[in-house]
A and B are shown apart, each in its own frame.
Chain A
Amino acid sequence: MRPYGDTTGDGMVQLSFTLPIPHDARAEGAALQLAAKMGMEPAMVVHARAMSDGFTFFVLYGSVTHLVDVSKVEVIEREYPLLSAKDVNAAIKKTLRRKLVVLGACIGTDAHTVGIDAILNVKGFAGEKGLEYYREMRVLNLGAQVSVPELVHRARAERCDAVLVSQVVTQRDAHLRNTRELSAAFREAMGTRRPLLVVGGPRFDPSMTEELGVDRIFGRGTTPGEVASYLTFAAAQHREGAA
């Protein structure tokens, strides 16, 4: 199939962009050339405007020559659905019938709380509010340089559902060592009744969950909404598994 303007098969699309050249006939020609290379042919420059020093902004309309084959589209599915804050709150209410308790910390000598703060603080990250913003979550942020025994102790005392640990420092694989220590301590202290263990940081490989003994690993650029959605999904599963 082709894009739809006002007639089936017309292939019409709109496109806007800026070229770093002053506005003149050559600039418009350059814009058309780009459109043609992108598969828009014929295309029309419907608007061009000089901006700043030596830039031109274009709006183009035109027909693309490409076809899309819907049967060949592959959708990568994450194991959990991405929910809005409202849906997260509703789901927790429904499945847990109480607040989801989340404990966050940086362990070992790592003093970089940027990651855990971005996920937990109301301020949040990338335009998404942090977990503190979710009414149905109770969030405890223990901050930096928390020892593993202390974390286990607090997790038990607060009857928490999930422990979030962020690790930035990776010297001599400190992040991997710390994470293994974390999962071993929880296994020993609480066995299968341990909370969900979630770690995050820019240098983690998300596929290493089993090796590190944790439930989920989040990499660079993870937003609070993704973490909240995952926790909601996993807490429900965890509960079913335990029951």
Chain B
Amino acid sequence: MSIEAKLGLNARTVRKARRLADRAIAPVVELAKTHTTVSVERAVLRLAGMTGTDPTIGNGEIPWVNRVVDTVRDQVGLEHGVALPVWHELRTGGHADLDDLAEKVGSGSVRFTVPTGKDGDRAARAALTAAKRGLARIDKNRRERDRLIKRIGDPKQRPWIYLIVATGDIYEDMPQAQAAARAGADVVAVIRSTGQSLLDYVPEGATRQGYAGTYATQENFRLMRAALDDVSKEVGRYVRLTNYASGLCMPEIATLAGLERLDMMLNDSMYGILFRDINPIRTFVDQRFSRMVHARAGIIINTGEDNYLTTADAVDEAHTVTVSQLLNEAFAHEAGLADWQLGLGHAFEINPDLPESFRLELAHAMLARELFPDAPLKWMPPTKHMTGDVFRGHLLDGFFNLVGTMTGQGILLVGMMTEAVVTPWLSDRDLALQNVRYVLNAAGGLHEDFQPARGGFIISRAKQVLGEAVDLLDRIVDDGLLDAIADGTFGITKRPADRGKGLDGVVRRAEGYRNPALELLAAHGE
């Protein structure tokens, strides 16, 4: 749905904001281009088709991609990338295939070397061929998605209705996701098991036990996509599948999502740093790779600005959401994502006891809409002020839905009145969907009649937030983004670049570093 611009934002201010965002990310992009991480290297192996784990006792399974990358690192270092030593060994070591090599690495009988000269060229060519096969599968999935959407159809309305399932057991999740689709979900998200974002590996196989969520694994992705393909035909619209890239394994999860035709991914540029204490450099390197894969796979990213508002005041800190959206956009464009792939996040989190809270929400949502006219914005429901009073919460969700339809949001995460009480019951979901339907049905065209007064509350507020965002971006450009993060500019926490989880997985690239996946993705983007 396209909604005409009503705020009369100053085009020069908007251009300035974007220019500042581009300048703010430039040094970080440079870092991403000169470093690699263990997860980027594992993603190369995953793209080439390496799967499998060693069954071990007691301590979970260690995927072969982890074992191989760790072994390469121990023996020859990662600064040249994993591709050269692995494909050199594969060519010259008498291994049947990649899995055979991985198994031998597990038994400790492989000695890697970094090939040079002609051997280096041959290894790089072989690695490129293997990565091309993986990308071909991602491309095929993208075409298949387009074909299915053409044949089955898109949802009739915007915003798309986004529902969450998560039982911990993928075989329970599948029928629940199908039930959600029948009840009206256009997008189904499978929440991950608590703490998966801090695992430095991606679990394998179909999983039946999780904590408050289900593990993201390649097999779980495949099973759920197949279940949704079935129900898509039944309900007459292509039901999209979402999972979460954020965390220590962004590159790998993005790759698996492309290989299994997921449609959306939570992928925020700073969430891991601020909320999970993941090392900033690790995050930015991983993020860039993962977003390049999303760009290629035709996946829509969802960014996490809603998180800021759960920790900070939604009025005082409204401009930090705008700043984060602009940074997320700049990072996304740099990685090759198109505007239609940017589900930039924002949320309805202003304290409802505040006078004119609804008008403030409306102003903020309109600002996001008009700053990013071609992005399918992700509109997140109230959580912070859901007190357990389910009746009041239901009303709040109604107002949230109203802002969603009045401002042409692209993706609406359905708010539950039992937020902060229980994981949603069947009846909670049903009531929540009735709420959404009532509002979309009753006021779906209200935006046509709605024009905020010139110089009035809403327009002034939107301009004020944009102005504050530009000021903050100015400061970030002056300080440098990494220092701004270190000083606690976003959220309350300070996150220095030399601390945080996953730092030991960051490696500066050496002269002669090769990464077949990055080379192919970059060539494609140009």
Q: Is A204 an interface residue (CB 8 A)?
A: no
**Interface of chain B, helix or strand or loop or mixed?**
helix
Residues in A neighbouring B420, C-beta threshold 8 A: 127
Alpha-carbon distance A114/B199, docked complex (angstroms): 10
**Known contacts A121-B276, A122-B491, A122-B493; A57/B195 CB under 8 A:** no
Interface: A15 (CB within 8 A): no
Shortest beta-carbon distance, A115 to chain B, in Å? 9
Kindly identify which residue among A55, A114, A141 contacts B194, using a CB–CB cutoff of 8 Å: A114
Contact A127 B383 (CB under 8 A): yes
Smallest CB–CB gap between A17 and chain B, Å?
8
Report the interface size class on chain B. 20 to 34
Identity of the chain B residue whose Cβ is nearest the Cβ of A115 in the assembled complex: B195
Chain A residue with Cβ nearest B277: A121
Contact, CB under 8 Å: B426 / A141: no
- CB contacts under 8 Å to B, within A22-68, are 49, 51-53, 55, 57
Stretch of A128-136, A176-184, A228-236 on the interface side = A128-136
Q: Does B198 lie within 8 Å of A122, measured CB to CB?
A: no
> Which residues of B are found within 8 Å of A95, using beta-carbon distances?
none
- In chain B, positions 467-517 with a C-beta closer than 8 Å to chain A are 491-493, 501
Assess whether A16 is interfacial by the CB under 8 Å rule.
yes
Chain A residues near B427 (CB-CB < 8 A):
16-18, 51, 57
- Tell me whether B73 is interfacial, beta carbon within 8 Å: no
B311 contacts A by Cβ under 8 Å: yes
Contact with B along A184-228 (1 / 0, CB 8 A): 000000000000000000000000000000000000000000000
Q: Nearest CB to that of B493 among chain A residues?
A: A132
Q: Cβ of B274 < 8 Å from any Cβ of A?
A: yes
Question: Do B198 and A114 have beta carbons less than 8 Å apart?
Answer: yes
Q: How would residues 271 to 291 of chain B score, 1 for a CB under 8 Å from any chain A CB and 0 otherwise? A: 000111100000000000000
Q: Are B492 and A51 in contact, CB atoms less than 8 angstroms apart?
A: no
Query: Inside 8 A of B195's CB, which chain A residues have their CB?
Result: 113-114, 117-118
A144 CB to nearest B CB, Å: 10
* 0/1 interface trace, chain B 297-336, chain A, CB 8 Å (1 if under): 0000000000000110000000000000000000000000
23 A-B pairs within 8 Å (CB atoms) are namely: A17-B427, A18-B426, A52-B182, A52-B426, A52-B430, A53-B179, A57-B426, A57-B427, A114-B198, A117-B195, A117-B198, A117-B276, A118-B194, A118-B195, A122-B492, A122-B493, A123-B275, A127-B383, A129-B311, A132-B277, A133-B311, A133-B493, A135-B492
B residues engaging A (CB < 8 A)?
179, 182-183, 194-195, 198, 211, 274-277, 310-311, 383, 420, 425-427, 430-431, 491-493, 501
Q: Which 10 A-B pairs have the closest CB atoms?
A: A114-B195, A123-B275, A57-B427, A51-B430, A122-B275, A18-B427, A127-B420, A132-B493, A52-B179, A122-B493
Residue ranges of A at the interface with B (Cβ–Cβ < 8 Å): 16-18, 49, 51-53, 55, 57, 113-114, 117-118, 121-123, 125, 127, 129, 132-133, 135, 141, 143
